[in-house]
């Protein structure tokens, strides 16, 4: 496991099953369906994590470590190594997986979860302040993902 400015860089595939926390485009079940080649949109659960903040890498959000910060998003259970590999490919090498604790909207806490974090320096000039607007993404960019593979 290599180290970077934000901590350990996880290159190995974690054992399944586990929950993934999504805070960007993968919050959208139809995007998740397209990325994973699922026959129908999966059911995601509203959730949050602590200890991270969002910076923007162009139109994409990037998680960086930040104590006392809460990020909202969704959680989904990964039950296949193939699904995790597809998620990692979608996220590109700009991101690495990090462990996190997920708090579901119901109040239940899930330990040993994963999320994708910025793989570079948290202070990188590539990152800017800002927030991810899921509705804007869905309106202007979603079709570039969900139309893949359609005739």
User: What are the domain boundaries of the chain?
Assistant: 18-139
Q: What is the pLDDT of residue 15?
A: 75
Q: What is the pLDDT of residue 2?
A: 35
Distance CA 148, CA 151 (A): 9
Q: What are phi and psi of 139, to 5 degrees?
A: -70, -40
Q: What is the pLDDT of residue 16?
A: 75
Q: What is the pLDDT of residue 66?
A: 95
Structure tokens at 65: 């470590």
Q: What is the pLDDT of residue 87?
A: 96
* Closest to 38 measured CA to CA, from 73, 78, 74, 88: 78
Q: What angle do CA 146, 149, 151 make, to 5 degrees?
A: 105
CA-CA-CA-CA dihedral for 20, 23, 29, 32, to nearest 10? -60
Q: What is the pLDDT of residue 148?
A: 64
Mean per-residue pLDDT, 44-50: 97
Q: What is the pLDDT of residue 11?
A: 56
- pLDDT digits over 115-137, tens only? 999 999 999 999 999 999 999 99
Mean per-residue pLDDT, 88-105: 96
Percent of the chain scoring above 90 in pLDDT: 85
Q: What is the pLDDT of residue 10?
A: 54
Q: Which helix (H) or strand (E) holds 116?
A: strand 109-118
| Res. 151: pLDDT tops 90 | no
Q: What is the pLDDT of residue 8?
A: 45
Structure tokens at 28: 């959208």
| pTM of the predicted protein model | 0.87
CATH fold of 18-139 reads Hypothetical upf0131 protein ytfp (3.10.490)
Angle between helices 81-91 and 29-36 (to 10 degrees): 110
| Res. 68: pLDDT tops 70 | yes
Structure tokens at 137: 């993404």
């Amino acid at each position: 496991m290599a180290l970077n400015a934000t901590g350990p860089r996880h290159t190995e595939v974690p054992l399944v099953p586990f929950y993934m926390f999504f805070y960007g485009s993968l919050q959208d079940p139809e995007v998740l369906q397209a990325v994973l080649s699922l026959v129908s949109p999966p059911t995601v659960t509203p959730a949050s994590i602590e200890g991270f903040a969002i910076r923007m890498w162009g139109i994409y959000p990037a998680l960086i470590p930040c104590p006392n910060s809460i990020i909202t998003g969704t959680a989904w259970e990964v039950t296949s190594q193939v699904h995790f590999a597809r998620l990692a490919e979608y996220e590109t090498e700009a991101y690495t997986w990090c462990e996190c604790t997920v708090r579901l909207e119901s109040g239940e806490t899930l330990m040993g979860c994963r999320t994708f974090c910025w793989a570079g320096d948290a202070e990188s000039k590539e990152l800017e302040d800002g927030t991810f607007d899921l509705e804007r993404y869905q309106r202007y960019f979603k079709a570039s993902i969900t139309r893949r593979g359609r005739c």
